[in-house]
Structure 1
């Protein structure tokens, strides 16, 4: 089965551009993610690439939420690029067809999972942009897709303590603002 991963790759490109824009002394600033620095956010998304590689290969899945900075020791951009390259190499046609567990929704092909995985690098791109003073306007097409995914996955993530409660969005807010408020971001 063919999978359309263009949105996934565009979200990764956006995230990578923001990682590249962080000054060397900007990694220890607080992020919108409670208790995490910019380095932690970058580590979490970089660890996500290791998680996807593990799903593709059947290896044990790393915990990307505990001490996420361990995924980006040293040069953060180089750590990101290495993890991204290793993940991409593992995404063979067979791997994309591999069934993976998706919580209460059952099993689905990894390629289908990645079509919705846009949410993770996209929202954390915003977190990284906000933490490091970079432009935080996201691609509206990716936002639309990610917001739809968020509405499906938010309840179990909140139940596990991985997502803040929703906030009210300002009246007349654009879709990006509504999505971020839904995800508990101001």
Structure 2
């Protein structure tokens, strides 16, 4: 891969570390995502790897928000690792250079999409950490990048009901807290 996808891989590594840290009985815990358990959050992000693989290979894109736990039926960590490995194998140079539809922005190279996609596993890493009582400090560089992405993609997501209204962060909040508040997540 010629593109520098280090941010994308760092976000996936962070998420994987949190998946690995969930206890066997922790998957039914409620998450900050309304109506979703920790298993649903893990399934949604795992489904995202199926989505990226489908974009890379020109296959139909799965709906990763509908019944997300279907992507992680038994062993959540193994399901995640398998999906991540299969996705990585599909990210050939031709696939990364290929144009994919990206809403109102039109067509863009898959590699550029993956730079913006950092937002998804990063924020859901926080959701999973909150649900399962794990440390929830995110990589500050990824937070900064994700916040810029969130400001570009939030309006259409909110219009479709996929993103909560923004909250007002407390005075002096860190960039992580401001990002989470922007995405409708209350930080205690």
TM norm. shorter chain > 0.5: yes
Number of the residue aligned with 1:59: 59
Partner residue of 2:105? 105
1:4 and 1:115 in contact (8 A); partners too = no
Matched residues in 1 for 2:153 and 2:115: separation?
Answer: 14
Distance across 1 between alignment mates of 2:90 and 2:66: 24
Give the whole-Å Cα distance in 2 for the aligned partners of 1:10 and 1:46: 15
Query: How do 1:112-127 and structure 2 match up within 5 A?
Result: 112-127=112-127
Query: Unpaired segments of 5 or more residues in structure 1?
Result: none
- Counterpart in the other structure of 1:12: 12
Rounded to whole Å, the distance in 1 between the matches of 2:4 and 2:154 is 23
Structure 1 runs of 4+ off > 6 angstroms? Answer: none
- The Cα of 1:4 is off from its aligned counterpart by 1.6
Query: What's the offset of the Cα at 1:2?
Result: 3.7
User: Offset at 1:72?
Assistant: 0.2
CA distance in 2, matches of 1:129, 1:29: 11
Cα displacement string for residues 70-89 of structure 1 (whole angstroms, at most 9, x for unaligned residues): 00000000000000000000
Structure 1: distance between partners of 2:16 and 2:160: 28
Displacement, 1:116?
1.2
Residue deviations 1:15-56 (CA, integer Å, cap 9, x gap): 000000000000001000000000000000000000000000
| Match of residue 92 from structure 2 | 92
Q: 1:133 and 1:16 mapped to 2: Cα distance?
A: 15
Aligned-residue CA RMSD (Å): 0.8
Q: Does the 8 Å CA contact 1:3/1:112 hold for their aligned counterparts?
A: no
After superposition, residues 93-172 of structure 1 pair within 5 angstroms as: 93-172=93-172
Give the equivalent residue in structure 2 for 1:183.
Answer: 183
Pairs aligned (count): 186
In the alignment, what sits opposite 2:77? 77
Aligned to 1:45: 45
1:161 and 1:98 mapped to 2: Cα distance? 29
C-alpha contact (below 8 Å) 1:45/1:120 kept by paired residues: yes
